[in-house]
Structure 1
């Protein structure tokens, strides 16, 4: 079969993506709002047309083949380009629609994201928004790959997001979080030297959240014992409340979190870690929905 004899359409590509992500014909059909037999028939027809098997099937499992995995990359790119073409055409006519993929660190504090999206919805009700949480390095990489449109990041002071457009939202100092009965719970302030021998709870090694504190201790020529690692700040504070350690966390995020918690106390830190919160988005031709969010935030117009 010659390549230009191929008659695949966007709907077939959507079926392939849905099946690849759900690995189940019934769930894929539900997502695409079609009957399962129709989805199965269209995917089988596409495989015959291409001359390759995209999915390995059994009574219990459905998985991409090597050819299917290769095809999936282009299918996603094609669907994204089609969605972008529709959004660009609508924007040229004065209407913003389409999809907006937003990523955020779990400790975002500079912007009330739900309130921002409420204002965004009031102005652009035809945009569908998806939210994803992750670490700053993962989110910035997703923007560079085109997987996310705009993200809220937190990085150590002096470090900037690479390969993306970015805007500083806030700068913040960390505070020490200790159990209420800890020897330092009533202190007016502490230094890193005073807490270096304590047992710490922190974010996972290699994450930007962890790097903020690691760099501060390294700059002071100090080492520390990290007994527990966690992916989210809420779990870190729960471990601290149980007396398992102490932590240094961004003050703007943690103060509201522990304000009404009698099991925890906050102590200012002299020359401790500092964090910069950023808004970041693609350098290359951001979507109309992305530019609209920047405008609602008061950061537009951008190109």
Structure 2
């Protein structure tokens, strides 16, 4: 008997499918009628509370008992009490309705524009760019129950997780066309060369990329979106640099340069000013990295995440006009 009530297989429309082997089918409204009657313990008062007729309530309970094959209620004077089977079933029915109601309320909140926005971001964007956008979005929507989840990684990792449904939106380098993702440019970053302060190139004010080829370099790992950008720059001048070390993080590359492991091309970041490195603008070729807001059109984007996406794009349009 216990196994009959432990698990619901699924709910479709107003019908609960309960117990694969037993093949039990219960009307969801009847389940609510049962819980109400179990607490009120009086058919007339329970029917009034449910805004239905007493015969309709009686019919519903009879149908449930017939489907389950056991009595749920018994008479006790003018009142109605639960049988021991009814008491056992009540716990499961209340849990089922509570779970269902919680899920329905969560969906209603999402439809009203509330909920969680799951962002995958490059770590460097988490220093200022993304926090500023998220804070401004929350300030413009003070009455909506909105939360953010921030996850960092390199471009390849972020895109893999976006396709796996772990993020709603990703801020990273351009995805490969084969992924079939939608990407809109939202920011440009100037790339610079950094060298140890005692390096032979450190006396320069700016540098042509061709002048860096003969020096050992620290490159971003292949999983990083910026790796392809730097490689294209060297292809543009028909050169191939000597790669001594590879790593994923901007901060690690800068630290290695500061301690004499080589030179590197990185996005300009204010924290570079605090390190023992020389920052050199690159005169040729033009060195910029474009960052994108990426989402998957094949997957439903929650309303609140779509609103944030539109908010970011509107900010980009405003900034382009000012420029």
Normalised-by-shorter TM-score class:
0.5 to 0.7
Q: Distance in 2 between matches of 1:139 and 1:130?
A: 14
Query: Does 2:104 correspond to 1:103?
Result: no
1:273-292 pair list within 5 angstroms: 273-283=287-297, 284-292=299-307
Which residue matches 2:169?
Answer: 150
Structure 2: gaps of 5 or more residues: 1-5, 12-100, 316-323
Query: Does 2:220 correspond to 1:203?
Result: yes
Shift of 1:207: 2.8
Q: Do the aligned partners of residues 83 and 180 (structure 1) sit closer, same or farther apart at CA in structure 2, a change above 3 Å counting?
A: farther
Note the alpha carbon deviations across 1:93-114, whole angstroms, 9 max, x for none.
xx32222210001233896211
Q: Distance in 2 between matches of 1:201 and 1:109?
A: 23
Shift of 1:273: 4.2
Q: Do the aligned partners of residues 109 and 222 (structure 1) sit closer, same or farther apart at CA in structure 2, a change above 3 Å counting?
A: farther
Q: Do the aligned partners of residues 205 and 90 (structure 1) sit closer, same or farther apart at CA in structure 2, a change above 3 Å counting?
A: closer
1:140-289 pair list within 5 angstroms: 140-155=159-174, 162-251=179-268, 254=269, 256-261=270-275, 263-269=276-282, 270-271=284-285, 273-283=287-297, 284-289=299-304
Which residue matches 1:90?
Answer: 109
State the Cα RMSD in Å: 3.1
Which residue matches 1:43?
Answer: none
TM-score for the superposition, normalised by structure 2: 0.59
Q: Distance in 1 between matches of 2:261 and 2:230?
A: 18
1:32-111 pair list within 5 angstroms: 88-92=107-111, 95-108=112-125
The structure number with the bigger radius of gyration is 2
TM-score for the superposition, normalised by structure 1: 0.62
**How many residues get paired?**
217
Shift of 1:153: 0.9
Q: Do the aligned partners of residues 132 and 152 (structure 1) sit closer, same or farther apart at CA in structure 2, a change above 3 Å counting?
A: same
Q: Post-superposition, which runs of at least 4 consecutive aligned residues in structure 1 deviate over 4 A? A: 82-88, 159-162
Relative contact order (alpha carbons < 8 A, sep ≥ 6): 1 or 2 greater?
Answer: 1
Q: Distance in 1 between matches of 2:205 and 2:234?
A: 20
